[in-house]
Amino acid sequence: MKVALAAILAVSCGFAGTVQGVIFDDETQIPIARTHVTLMPLPGTTAPNASLLANEHGQYAFTDVPPGWYIIRAARIGYETAEYGQLHAGLPGIPVEVTNQPARNDGSDLHQFVMRRQAAIVGSVVDDNVIGIPEWPVSVYTAKLPIRRIAQTKTDDRGNFRVGELEPGDYIVRSGGGGLEDATTLVPAYYKYGTALAGAEPVRVHLAETQAYIVIHTVEGQLFELSGEVTAPDKRPVSLSLITDTGRRLIASATGPFVAAAVPPGNVELLAEGPGCASYQTMLLDRNMFARVDCQPYTSPVIDGALDYPLIARRLDLDGPGEEIALGSRRSLSPGHWEFQVRPTAAHYLVSVMNDGDTAPPSPLDGWYGLTIGNAPRLRVTLSAKPASISGMVASGAKPVTGAPVFLQLLNPATPELPLQTWSIRADPQGHFTFSSLGPGAYRVMSSYDVDFADPLARDKAVGVTLREGDAVIQQLEMIRQ
């Protein structure tokens, strides 16, 4: 099949400046239609990114491509993003060169590669007789603390569930709470057994793997009722949401009394939002409780600091992070827990983001600063004009490696195996690379096409670099090979 398709494409291969090929499914070797393909220039190649959609035969063709070096990347829902020339799925691909030479007509210049499906978790939720429970909520969380919900689904008529489109890694799976037909109530339970996070067993998935037989045994327990009253200025309309780590639901759409039944025990959040007013509160629900929710006026955040770059924010509730937004002068933030990040240029690095009244800046998580804000937030953003940098050249022996992938991790002194943040870039055609906008700290850097930077053995091969403010470190790298 590949030979036949190559022959078809070769007919149109009559001039320079063309990058073309076919994308196949790794398991079936069938062409993957309607795949998003992007042609990405390496640093030093003066050309914009170009994107297109593969046709019904999985074929793609970029024409009139300026000479230079490029990465070919393919993306499709349900598949792991792939790059041409990668040795294994999930690893970086190799760059291709476009020249002024006429294209060959024998099909030998076709850039064909395969894509692999993402991972999935398959299992069931069962009662005390090990019979599947239909239409039961199931949530998947990251195993890294603090856990964050990334997916939710419901079981089918046999009590089975499937969660796909997962990146390789460790996950925690949990069933929701609710009532059965005989009025038996079940509380949320983790795989394999129990209701406590400390007893949850992580599920590890690999690329293109379906991790099956994840059976969650439900646990009987008491569900509670949360009642209360919502007030607002001028009795304006208010929406009240009840948020738990297994999701959220609307429990009131107007001021006045409200009742939320069958709420599992544990931490809950109440978020009220109306025209120009909001309220946020948390509580530990361990019995039937009453809550008074007063929707108060709130204002746009005041941002102190010379910001030449947008402040990015995303809400972080119990059910996971929200969408990212760029804060403007008129953008309001309802009270609650938010995460903030600044994406500066090489001239600065982000020191901290603090809220008025904070005594110390929080520690960033993956580059995000978490803050709990009220109805009149005043944010203090501190940038330093003395960023550090790491630059150098990647070589194999004495020869520079064109477009070498380079990885950099900011280490957590308490847990070096769990980095605070990870970056990856490509070297230019001469093998040169630069990481800029870096703050002080301990880092490790490495370059490889065939070693996973998350592998503990690979970490031993990385080069350690300690930066102070304003340092400009030159670090030459040898390409690591397995």
> For residue 97, what is the domain's CATH number?
2.60.40.10
Residue 23, pLDDT score: 96
pLDDT per residue of the chain (482 residues) written in tens, 0 to 9? 444 444 334 334 444 589 999 999 998 999 999 999 999 999 989 899 999 999 999 999 999 999 999 999 999 999 999 999 998 888 899 999 998 766 666 556 789 999 999 999 999 999 999 999 999 999 999 998 778 889 999 999 999 999 999 998 999 999 999 999 998 999 999 998 889 888 899 999 988 899 999 999 999 999 999 999 999 988 889 999 999 987 889 999 999 999 999 999 999 999 999 998 999 999 999 999 999 999 999 888 888 875 677 789 999 998 888 899 988 656 788 999 999 988 767 788 888 899 887 877 777 777 889 999 999 888 888 888 899 999 999 999 889 999 999 999 998 887 777 788 889 999 999 999 999 999 999 999 999 998 776 677 777 889 999 999 999 999 999 998 76
Are both 48 and 91 inside the same structural domain? Answer: yes
Are both 465 and 434 inside the same structural domain? Answer: yes
d(CA 435, CA 164): 34
Are both 261 and 178 inside the same structural domain? Answer: no
Residue 221, pLDDT score: 94
Are both 58 and 97 inside the same structural domain? Answer: yes
Are both 195 and 235 inside the same structural domain? Answer: no
Are both 408 and 470 inside the same structural domain? Answer: yes
Residue 422, pLDDT score: 87
**Which CATH number covers residue 128?**
2.60.40.1120
Residue 208, pLDDT score: 85
The residue with tokens 């040898």 is 478
Domain final residue pick, 325, 360, 384 = 384
Are both 363 and 432 inside the same structural domain? Answer: no
Domain final residue pick, 174, 193, 220 = 220
pTM for this structure? Answer: 0.81
d(CA 382, CA 405): 31
Are both 440 and 463 inside the same structural domain? Answer: yes
d(CA 482, CA 461): 11
Phi, psi of 152, deg, nearest 5: -145, 145
Residue 103, pLDDT score: 60
Q: Which of 213, 185, 184, 217 lies closest to 200, judged by CA?
A: 217
Q: Which of 172, 126, 134 lies closest to 154, judged by CA?
A: 134
Beta bridge partners of 269: 243, 282
Residue 361, pLDDT score: 76
Residue 15, pLDDT score: 46
Strands of 208-310 (E only): list them. Answer: 210-217, 219-220, 224-231, 239-244, 247-252, 256-263, 266-274, 277-285, 289-294, 296-297, 302-304
Q: Which of 366, 373, 305 lies closest to 334, judged by CA?
A: 373
Are both 332 and 414 inside the same structural domain? Answer: no
Provide long-range contacts, Cβ within 8 A and 24+ apart, for 284-289. Answer: 285/224, 285/226, 286/224, 287/224, 288/224, 288/225, 288/226, 288/227, 289/224, 289/225, 289/226, 289/227
Q: How many domains does the chain have?
A: 5
Which residue segment(s) compose the domain that 199 sits in? Answer: 119-220
d(CA 421, CA 335): 27
Are both 310 and 247 inside the same structural domain? Answer: no
Are both 94 and 144 inside the same structural domain? Answer: no
Residue 1, pLDDT score: 46
Are both 284 and 269 inside the same structural domain? Answer: yes
d(CA 167, CA 440): 30
Residue 357, pLDDT score: 76
Domain final residue pick, 297, 313, 331 = 297
Residue 11, pLDDT score: 37
- Look at residue 235 and give its three-state secondary structure: helix
d(CA 291, CA 50): 54
Q: Which of 445, 421, 324 lies closest to 365, judged by CA?
A: 421
Would you say 348 and 370 are in contact if contact means Cβ atoms under 8 Å apart? Answer: no
